[in-house]
Structure 1
Amino acid sequence: MMAMTASTASAQFIIINDLPVPESEAPSSISEYGFYANWVPVDENPGNAIGYYVRAYVVKTGTDNPEESKFYLLNTDFSYLKSEGTEENPVNNVTPDNSFVQQPLGDPKRCGWQTLNQAGVDGELCLNGAFNFTSANAALFMNISDLRNGDGDVHFKFRIKGDGQTKKMRVMLRNTDTMPNEILDMKEIDVTTEWQDMEFTLKGGVENSDILFSGYEMGNQTAMYYYIDDLQIWQVLKKNETAKALYHHEFVKDDLECYHLYISTTDLDEGEDYAYTVSSYSYEGVSPESRIQYLRPEDHPTGINTLSAETENLSSDTPVIVYDMKGAVVSKGTVGNAPKLNERGAYIVKTGGNAKKIIVR
């Protein structure tokens, strides 16, 4: 699967800690079409930065309601895929030299979904298994993403069928920090010529994960097709857990004086928002990300959920007080209704007679 590793890493770069981290600022000129991501230009440049790298995210924060806390990594019926091809006669994409064809999935921009060897069928995703290598054959995959949310569970629901020659499809949740990529969990599907409704969960998502749909058969230049429709992939966020999915990333090249970048909007589901971070970059890599900026920060409180060991034997109405590192009170709550914070940083949390330092990231 090593060919897939390079593909999924398109938004992953070497982190250079010596590069300056820009100070992000609140967005401006917000409309239904887009907004300006703003930052303070760096004034010291120890790592020889040459410009900025901006990441725009779709974000969502979980609530008490599991249904409202679904965060979709992909949710489409593929109606935007227009083609003269049909299931009986897809528009073929096999090249004379047996090269594979990689392309963006299209309209759903979040998570950078890509296909290998996508054939043309109107209103359905069709993948062609006519190639010789499992690592470059009939596949759908996402950019490297943080899939720790919801205890690392990723939920799937879709329909699938084959043309009679395709027999199996594997859906994998992988750790991209290892080489070759470690399979954390996998579902192997027996593909038939009739539509099947699939619904399952893969477990164990980590900070640098991806998802890969991969055809099992190799056609050796003979066309063989998988058909997928009504595809939903999501995680269920815990209360106050905020997830983000990259939908746009862009370099501001050779201009350290620049202080903003216009970002176009994309489709949002209920309860979702936009956010962005800024890094500086050099020819060697990028700096760590700046503090994340939300378009509606009031919708994304950070719950303090690191108190379980100290609160197991305390009643739900036990007071919880949060202090900044200078001793000022910044938030109050109870064990049953944890204080909320909109800012990352270090805090002292006093619960009953106990106090501890926590880091909110």
Structure 2
Amino acid sequence: MKEKVAVLGAGSWGSILASVLDENGHDVWLWSNSQAQVDELNNQHTNERYIPNYKYSETLHATVDLKEAVDGAKAVLFVVPTKVIRLVAKQLVEVLSELKQKPLIIHASKGLELGSHKRISEVIAEEIPSDLRREIVVLSGPSHAEEVAKKDITLITSACENLEAAKEVQKLFMNNYLRIYTNTDVIGVETGAAFKNVVAIGAGALHGLGYGDDAKAALMTRGLAEISRLGVAFGADPLTFIGLSGVGDLIVTCTSVHSRNWRAGDQLGQGKKLDEVIEDMGMVIEGINTCKAAYELAQQKGIEMPITEAIYHVLYENKDIKEEINLLMRREGKAELG
């Protein structure tokens, strides 16, 4: 059944998810705050800054007018950086109030709000009252926009406490190269999505320093233990972390040059300063802010997260990466489980 869907955010992931929905036969409106980007998408059907050499369908609509994008939409998908989620949600409330609409809200962003440490679904729920929306569904998992653009096989998760809403999103997106599984553990899915970016910075740093596969496997395995430890402390199901939005997302983010967080870590490992890395990337590196949030949450909860602490020391206290690795390796011996 054809539905109108508004996609907020025309970066790499937002524009490709919009393309998937368009290919699946839906009426898709892609919102951006850049007129130049909208003109490029509508006239050249390209988005070269984010997805080079990719041609979008002529039936995909782009607009800078949020009301035009949302008017009549059965679902609204957020794919904007975490730092502007609250701002965009406030703008959406004004539009929904005027249109008297109550769409399904979906988000495919990954991270925690800086300062409050709130998950994205919590931020959206705070800003968009229940009389202006239906459920909030999280779309997350091991995925790179560049690979979905090539129609590589990709499996991700649709998570909502209301399983029927998760199934609705599953139907919207699923096709012969993008398979969606449902989950009711929103806390676990969002926690895994956010904190794997921190571990990815560490994985990139190991590569930049010249370490091999043993070190990378060690980091990912113990990093997953930290993610699970923190997530469970906030009410997540531990089984979620051995699923797509846990170990699956961790693997893809820690092993691929498509990952901005991995590339940032790789440059840090090669000796670049953080300011240089951020400037060179030109796009949001979610793991930097998320690392600060994870560190502070671990301190508040009294949770042991030595890898996260080490990465925090490098990012925020200008500590030497090699010395932090040495300190990690020389910690007192302990049991693997428990």
TM-score (norm 2): 0.26
Structure with a larger share of its residues in strand: 1
TM-score (norm 1): 0.25
